[in-house]
Structure 1
Amino acid sequence: MGMPRIPGVLARAAVALLAGVTLVLAGPGPAHATATLNIPAPQPGGISATVKLFGAKVPQPYNPDPTAYTGDRKCRLLYHDYEPTAGCGGFKVEVTFHNVRNQLGYQPSGPVSPELPITDGQYKFSASADTARTFRCLRPGGGFDPRHNLVVRTTQQPLSNNYYFADVDWTISELQTYPDRDAGPPFYVNFAPVEVNCPQGTTAHQYGLKVSNIKITAHTPYVFGSTVWAHPGPYYA
């Protein structure tokens, strides 16, 4: 698999939100290497969410190997590997839902629901975000020419699931098993490699990462209903 050539013109990907969902918006928050974003419930007594963004990898220098499963240039994921890689970079997200136990239909024990399929996509949480990666071509002394900067953006890039932890029934099971704490799904992004064409004598570095407009979506008839928890961010790394 080769690396796609992405020009200075922005590369964009779009994900459509499900129709008829409740959209919950939160105000802007501070940007840190680890960011914790609080999103209120859509209505009094509803489900609120805390979204933690962390674990970012910003490759410096940037020299990804699209075929590597190990090492500093790693971009490929092994089986049960749910992490951003050293070569391509990315970030992780943990979602925690609050006040789920007080919702209609929640049962503190027993089967999550006899009608809840484990593999049906409608019974999974999903997540997406806007991303921007900035690349620079560094001289040996550390300087750079901004004319050679490259910014690669995505719009509402889907976040990848961690194993089966995005299933609604997994979150419900965690709430039943550990009644003294809240729960929610983890996600991650391992970016696709891009080609940064630097002038001779300079080396590509990823200068930074920005994540914004984070959305967590549920579309299920069980407990969570059809809801989008959204926060503008941003998160910088």
Structure 2
Amino acid sequence: MPSLTLPTLTSPAPVAKVAEIPAAALRGAFAIGARLRHARVFHPDGLDLAGRLHAEPEFEALFGSGERAVIARLSKGTGTPSGWPDILGLAFRVLDHDDKPWDFALATTGESLVGRLLVTLTRGWGSARYGSLVPYRFGGSNPIWIFAEPDPGQPSSASIADLAEHLRDNLATFRLYASGLGVPRQHIATLALRLAEPAEQRTDYFDPMLNAPQNVVMVPKAIGRIREIAYTGSRRGRGEGA
């Protein structure tokens, strides 16, 4: 049976040049959206978290060994009322093997070949399945998607209030998986999160394009470029720096 092996940490292969994106128009559209709703366009409602990531031994070459410090955010993608179903998000920043920030921005998706490319509405935090939507290339590896599966004890609703209440006495844990085309998923790390303390480091912005190891890229690059422009527009609409 084929298996997913540790990505080779070499320089990424050259990527073909993509067509120029109308950046100003796209950035402006997201800036207007953020101003109208007085919040970020993506995932406006969420909780700031902190915790630890523990990599499986064969993936310590990527994340480093032992417990790695993490800051994170669990959020609702469109901000539906109360516990209504929504596109849920899990974003986190971990220090990589060189102690540099590595950001992940995951949303609820399917895991089939088609489903992993599409965001999906989810009824609750406990039933959510998060995916990277866009695959990664680790050095010269084939495209690999990252997934996160929550522990079943998380709330069955998609309410931020229910999640906050749960986190007052419990950790939110996740098993991180990697999966390529035609190969089974492989457990790469475990993530344990809690509510962040007021004095702890936190961020309102996770950028998987900017904050990643040099030999790790999201493909195709055109998708990443669109994502970067949209995030920039949303920040400017909220009066934040680029």
Q: TM-score, normalised by structure 1?
A: 0.28
Greater share of residues in helix: 2
Compare relative contact order (CA 8 Å, sep 6+) and give the higher one, 1 or 2. 1
Q: TM-score, normalised by structure 2?
A: 0.27
Q: Larger Cα Rg: Structure 1 or Structure 2? A: 1
